[in-house]
Chains A and B, each alone.
Chain A
Amino acid sequence: MHAIEFRDVDFAYGEGEFRIQKLNFSVEKGEFVAILGHNGSGKSTLARLSNGILLPDAGEIRVFGTLLDEKHLYDVRSRVGVVFQNPDNQTVASVVEDDIAFGAENVGLAREEIGKRIDFALSAVGMEAYRDATVARLSGGQKQRVAIAGVLALRPDVMILDESTAMLDPKGRREIMEVVQKLNRDEGVTVLLITHFVEEALLADRALVMSKGGIVMQGAPAEIFSRGDELLAYDLTLPRIGIIAKRLREGGMSVSDTLDVEKLAEEIAGCVS
């Protein structure tokens, strides 16, 4: 069964130019999918459609087979959690524990169950030591981990991260990506990761590239990142290492389209000696 399935989905924001037309795509259960695309390409719209923050104008969206409509909105939302970009906009309580409990309380779970969920969520994001900490005094990466924990407390089957690491420093970014990989691997959570960072997209099983509201490229992340001309056509760029490899090749060095530093160095060494 597909975790998320879009069938001929149409969507537009009022009278604006941007629109999604006849979009078809699906994500399998347990899959880790990266979504790439320039600003304004429709990535966030896709995320918002996937848990009913936005509803399609036409076509249907199914989450684990359940049709996403107003009647099933809350069923779907309890299975699809979204983590947004700005950690400061996603925390509601002043203490970590209360913040994580917020969603679970809202869906009316029993008190003991909420306690268990908080334990689970805190340990999943590695923030056990901060249970009673003041949210405002945490670093950006820690706040974002609390935001993820709040989503996890609802035990979602699908997690959507909409540029959740964009406002973090490199260390905060690594923390989040470790948590996400662990959830995908150990808990079987399906992950949709929207990102501009190559190194994050490379962790995914599959990458999609969006442009003008449509999916224009699909494949293994490493393979996508080697298709430089196509990426450029969709207002994206080759990763820096790809640019270097390409330029070296143009200069007469036989190096491959690798995204791995050690491998590229090995190949350069091979050409030189």
Chain B
Amino acid sequence: MRIVAEHLTHVYNERSPFAVKALDDVSLTIEEGEFFGIIGHTGSGKSTFVQHLNALIRMPSSMKRYRKKRLKKGEAPPPATVLKVGDFDLTDKKTDFYALRKHVGMVFQYPEYQLFAETVKEDVAFGLKNFAEKGKHLTEDEIRAAVGDALAAVGLDYREVADKSPFDLSGGQKRRVAVAGVIVTKPEILILDEPAAGLDPLGKQEIMRLLHAIHGGWCKTVVIVSHDMDEIAENCTHVAVFDGGRVRYVLPPAELFRKTDELIGLGLDIPLTAKLVAALGRRGIELSCDFTTEDFIRKTLALKGGGA
């Protein structure tokens, strides 16, 4: 499923003194199969954008009581807003949003705060039962199998954790159980808001490894929102940079992180590899790499080979 947004605008608290334009004419396409990164400082519109993708924020035109604004005389009609996820048209009130959400899984920031059930298996099964087709009753075996798959996908052993309270687990394990609760329905698109935030370094690596492991199977597309530029540089196929509700750049990391000055100007960090490339550049050494650690090391060592 491909994600297409065109001329997407969103205002919080519209027609009130607290009105904030969170998205301002955003156009962005995310192809199926991508491991897509979204970056931008706090308040840039990243979260508002991703919440549109599984209709947590509904387009006004998809609401029951929506009436088209009447244009004043001589006023040009605004450009048509498009928001499509695969075949789901999110601007249309007839769309089956329930079905959409089954295909688009959303993992919020600090998802472990949303754990609620008494045991891990109940917590993970909750979404599965809710998304089961109407009138269809899942058997215990089906639930057991799906929960087992989801836990295995996040690197946990069913027998070991299933009957434990999710609150007795470590921070990293809780995070993984929470992710399991989302992927248990095998969403085709998985959106994660800062999946690694707050974890220790190994916990971070582990989460990213898990995402790569499920990406490409039933999960076709992964979208991550992150402040960690190293994480973005290492993992993503394309990156969108949000700033003030607009999309400034959509580029592969290899091209994006060459724009060191522009990114710093937007109040963003750059990955360590980009800092090193820039520092080498100031010493007259041109190094062209895709900003992953592996590529940086390979190219740097090749420099030496050439010089010797």
Contact of B42 among A85, A139, A253, A261 (CB under 8 A): A139
Stretch at the interface among A103-111, A184-192, A262-270: A262-270
Stretch at the interface among A58-66, A91-99, A167-175: A167-175
> Are A196 and B279 in touch, CB under 8 angstroms?
no
Task: Tell me if B167 counts as interface (CB < 8 A to partner A).
Answer: no
**Bound complex: CA of A139 vs CA of B44, how far in Å?**
12
CB distance from A225 to the nearest CB of B (A): 11
> Are B276 and A166 in touch, CB under 8 angstroms?
no
Contact of A236 among B201, B275, B307 (CB under 8 A): B201
Interface code B279-304, partner A: CB below 8 Å = 1, 0 otherwise?
11011110000000100110011011
Task: Tell me if A247 counts as interface (CB < 8 A to partner B).
Answer: yes
List, in ascending order, chain B residues with CB within 8 A of A171's CB.
Answer: 41-42, 267
- Which of B171, B201, B269 has most chain A Cβ within 10 Å? B201
> Are B201 and A237 in touch, CB under 8 angstroms?
yes
CB distance from B266 to the nearest CB of A (A): 11
> Are B200 and A244 in touch, CB under 8 angstroms?
no
If A244-B293, A252-B304 touch, does A269 touch B280 (CB 8 Å cutoff)? yes
Q: Residue on A with the closest CB to B202? A: A235
Interface code B150-179, partner A: CB below 8 Å = 1, 0 otherwise?
000000000000000000001110000000
**Bound complex: CA of A141 vs CA of B43, how far in Å?**
12
- Which of B41, B200, B303 has most chain A Cβ within 10 Å? B200
Interface code A225-241, partner B: CB below 8 Å = 1, 0 otherwise?
00000000001110011
Task: Tell me if A272 counts as interface (CB < 8 A to partner B).
Answer: yes
List, in ascending order, chain A residues with CB within 8 A of B304's CB.
Answer: 251-253, 271-272
**Bound complex: CA of A236 vs CA of B200, how far in Å?**
8
Task: Tell me if A140 counts as interface (CB < 8 A to partner B).
Answer: yes
- Which of A139, A141, A244 has most chain B Cβ within 10 Å? A244
List, in ascending order, chain B residues with CB within 8 A of A248's CB.
Answer: 297, 300-301
List, in ascending order, chain A residues with CB within 8 A of B285's CB.
Answer: 268-269, 272
List, in ascending order, chain A residues with CB within 8 A of B199's CB.
Answer: 39, 196
Task: Tell me if B99 counts as interface (CB < 8 A to partner A).
Answer: no
> Are B42 and A38 in touch, CB under 8 angstroms?
no
Task: Tell me if B88 counts as interface (CB < 8 A to partner A).
Answer: no
CB distance from B20 to the nearest CB of A (A): 10
List, in ascending order, chain B residues with CB within 8 A of A39's CB.
Answer: 170-172, 199-200, 203
> Are A261 and B276 in touch, CB under 8 angstroms?
yes
> Are B272 and A262 in touch, CB under 8 angstroms?
no
> Are A265 and B276 in touch, CB under 8 angstroms?
yes
List, in ascending order, chain A residues with CB within 8 A of B41's CB.
Answer: 169-171
**Bound complex: CA of A253 vs CA of B297, how far in Å?**
11
Q: Residue on B with the closest CB to A247? A: B297
Q: List 13 A-B contacts (CB under 8 A).
A: A38-B203, A39-B199, A166-B198, A170-B268, A172-B42, A196-B199, A237-B202, A241-B272, A247-B293, A253-B301, A261-B279, A268-B303, A269-B284
Closest CB pairs A-B (n = 5): A265-B279, A251-B301, A269-B283, A39-B171, A166-B198
Q: List the interface of chain B (C-beta within 8 A of A).
A: 41-43, 110, 170-172, 197-203, 205, 227, 230, 267-269, 272-273, 275-276, 279-280, 282-285, 293, 296-297, 300-301, 303-304, 307
